[in-house]
Amino acid sequence: MSEQQRLLTVENLRVTFDIMPRNAWPWTRPQPLKAVNNVSFTLNEGETLGIVGESGCGKSTLARAIMGMVPSQAGKVVWLGEDLRGLNLKQLRKRRQRLQMVFQDPLASLSPRMTVGDIIAEPLRTHYPDIKGAELREKVDAIMDRVGLHPHQKNRYPHEFSGGQCQRVGIARALILEPKLIICDEPVSALDVSVQAQVINLLKNLQRDMGLSLIFIAHDLSVVKHISDRVMVLYLGNVAENAPRAELFANPRHPYTQALMAAVPIPDPERERAKPPAELEDDLPSPMNPPSGCVFRTRCPLATDYCSGEVPALEDKTGAGHWVACHYVERRES
């Protein structure tokens, strides 16, 4: 693509939930849980941004904050030059015609009381109520065929489909409004490996044919490697690393990214046994009581006392768009 249009800019987005401690007294003040902490990134037309991290790192909350499904306390979500955080519900609903989402659990995200034809047609009925009858049926049939479903199945219910087919229904529901961006929140994590590959290939083909941009969320780096143009690594709601895909996989700089890559299994048994063990130890700290300074320091092999007092800035370490938040990344490379 020659001149890419900037579709989405997220600037210092922060999402905090007030959580009441267990067995607390009625007058006890709720504790803040920082689910997303000053996250920034950009997305251009036709690009795919992969977002990875362990469960509990804020990936899904970030996606829902971009969509306006959960409130954010600070920052900007600029969609085609307009800050979505300043819009009311009616205005935001109109913008969602071009901004759609595919959810993690393919069966739970579909109403069991509706046929798949009605599920796919529902966005059209909401945003374009004038489209009815034969025209509506034609659009539903066309999008079902495009995602690999037979139009004659539209009178069936979600429980009559496999997990992969239900996810195709969810993709068809997101595509029928012809959006510019689809946010995929771990769309293949509940599927078998072979079905994962089919869904990823489907998304890549749809992106090529329809000019889509994607935000693809996963906890497995091997999955985002095959679909992303850029990869952003989240840890406890903070950006640890953000780089072009080829650069990230060839030269991961943050210790957390390295540990995630070390945890990816290698199909060759001899290479799998020979690779160094993953460096991650202990469990993910509680986001209600994160470590001071660098939030990764309690599990980091490079951590020093300095890391407990200073939050590392997210900096472009190469001058070519490879952003890393680590005090000692240069020391490791030297």
Classify residue 81: in a domain, yes or no: no
Report the alpha-carbon angle 106-62-206, nearest 5: 50
Classify residue 110: in a domain, yes or no: no
Q: What are phi and psi of 212, to 5 degrees?
A: -80, 155
Classify residue 173: in a domain, yes or no: no
Looking at residue 333, what is its pLDDT? 46
330 falls in which pLDDT band (50, 70, 90)? low
State the residue range of the domain holding 333: 257-334
CA neighbor of 181 nearest in space, from 160, 138, 210: 210
Residues 6+ apart with CB under 8 A from 216: 48, 49, 50, 51, 184, 187, 203, 224, 227, 228
Classify residue 222: in a domain, yes or no: no
Percent of the chain with pLDDT over 90: 66
How many domains, in total, are found in the chain? 1
Q: Say yes or no to pLDDT of 84 above 60.
A: yes
Classify residue 313: in a domain, yes or no: yes
Classify residue 284: in a domain, yes or no: yes
Classify residue 282: in a domain, yes or no: yes
Amino acid identity at 272: E
CA quadruple 247, 249, 253, 259: dihedral, nearest 10: 170
Beta bridge partners, 8, equal 43, 79
Q: Say yes or no to pLDDT of 2 above 50.
A: no
Q: Say yes or no to pLDDT of 223 above 90.
A: no
Classify residue 141: in a domain, yes or no: no
175 falls in which pLDDT band (50, 70, 90)? very high
**Interval 241-270 mean pLDDT:** 87
Looking at residue 167, what is its pLDDT? 94
Tell me the pairing of strands 213-218 and 181-185.
parallel
328 falls in which pLDDT band (50, 70, 90)? confident
Beta bridge partners, 50, equal 216, 231
Cα end-to-end span (Å), the chain: 37
331 falls in which pLDDT band (50, 70, 90)? very low
Q: How does pLDDT run across 28-57, given as a tens digit for each residue?
A: 888 889 999 999 999 999 999 999 999 889
pTM as predicted: 0.90
